Amino acid sequence: MLDLLYSLTSFLPESLQTIIIILVKIAVLLIPLLLGVAYLTYAERKIIGYMQVRIGPNRVGPRGWLQPIADAVKLMFKEIVIPNFANKFLFLLAPVLSIGTALAAWAVVPFNAELVLADVNAGLLYILAMTSVGVYGVIIAGWASNSKYAMLSALRASAQIVSYEIAMGFALVGVLMASRSLNLGDIVIGQSGGIYHWYLLPLFPLFVVYFISGVAETNRAPFDVAEGESEIVAGFHVEYSGMAFSIFFLAEYANMILISMLASLMFLGGWLSPFEGIEIIQNSSLAFIGTASIGWLLAKAAFLLLLFLWFRATFPRYRYDQIMRLGWKVFIPITIVWIFVIGLMYYWQIGPWFTH
């Protein structure tokens, strides 16, 4: 594939050739990602529908499969209203910032040992930076709309996101102490050798904290006070319509997929198979389920995404003071204690995880 591309573009100067090949790789990553986002919205409506004993969308196309396409087309033809008193430049900058950072974070996500766009050794740091910049999208959107609902929501959302980012950061430190590398590929390779080698086992509290913080970071239910439709209508995007609104939507879902992907890379062994090293499986005709493949990574991420939707169908919305209490008084103490525990485990070289 790549060789063909190289020979096709060989008449170009070398620097241009490199850039074109990078652009093609980005397209190969982005198109499935955006399709995944579209069908995640469909899956959400369908799954929540079944959980509430409804059918969910089933009219557009066979079994409603074309529903996300129809939604996208509808939103594209809706007028983008810019309120009179809004700051026009910032009003339009906010969605661009949201989607830009949500997509750019994918640059360092590995899909298997070779399949990674930018194999840099500061991958995790870059992702943390990108998701932090994403908060600005929310704050700017809320402020620039010049609407009270949007303003209140932006304040709530930014305080909530930064609070949970601390717990998330501490959880990442735990992963780093186990792997001693910021490169996501190396973190996965450090977990190879069967299901007992995954960081899920020694870092289980951190996994729980990381995932729940991820739900809070993406402003998903039950932490969606930023959008709480019963109090502040739609939150920071109350003034947005048409395509500008759908960009926020896309960014939120792309971030959901990113969080699930990262959780499976860092705690669930990424593309490694849970049946690795079991001889009965390796010698049978089912050997393929014992080998590492991208399918395992996608399956793990899909399971975590199901949890996102499941939470939304199951839990009532938290009150704001409860959210802040959970973030500051529960998660941060848990993560700090567990970092000390990891330090001790590292000192005593416990298990297959902390041998150095």
Partner 1 sequence: MLESYLPILIFIFVGISVGIVMLGMGFVLSPHRPDKEKNSTYECGFEPFENSRINFDVRYYLVAILFIIFDLEITFLFPWAVVLDDIGVFGLLAMALFLIILVVGFIYEWKKGALEWE
Residues 164-193 that bind partner 1 (CB under 8 A): 165-166, 169-170, 172-173, 176-177, 180-182
Closest contact distance (angstroms) between CB of 287 and partner 1 is: 34
- End-to-end CA, the chain: 39
Window 80-139: residues binding partner 1 (CB under 8 A) = 80-85, 92, 95-104, 106-108, 117-120, 125-126
Whose structure tokens read 């990442």? 172
CA atoms of 220 and 239, how far apart (whole Å):
20
> Does 196 contact partner 1 by CB under 8 A?
no
> Does 309 contact partner 1 by CB under 8 A?
no
Q: Quick one: 155 or 289, whose CB is closer to partner 1?
A: 155
> Does 12 contact partner 1 by CB under 8 A?
no
Closest contact distance (angstroms) between CB of 73 and partner 1 is: 9
Residue 178: its H or E element: helix 148-179
In order of 83, 275, 345, the CA distances from 197 in angstroms are 55, 12, 14
CA atoms of 210 and 222, how far apart (whole Å):
15
Angle between helices 148-179 and 332-347 (to 10 degrees): 10
> Does 281 contact partner 1 by CB under 8 A?
no
* Piece of the chain touching partner 1 by CB under 8 A; list 19-27, 44-52, 214-222, 274-282: 19-27
Q: Quick one: 11 or 348, whose CB is closer to partner 1?
A: 348
> Does 264 contact partner 1 by CB under 8 A?
no
> Does 11 contact partner 1 by CB under 8 A?
no
Window 28-67: residues binding partner 1 (CB under 8 A) = 30
Closest contact distance (angstroms) between CB of 165 and partner 1 is: 7
Q: How many residues does the chain have?
A: 356
CA-closest candidate to residue 243, choices 99, 131, 106 = 99
> Does 330 contact partner 1 by CB under 8 A?
no
> Does 306 contact partner 1 by CB under 8 A?
no
Residue 132 CA, chain-centre distance (Å), reads: 13
As separate numbers, helices (DSSP H) first and strands (DSSP E) second, the chain gives 14, 0
Closest contact distance (angstroms) between CB of 312 and partner 1 is: 23
CA atoms of 230 and 79, how far apart (whole Å):
25
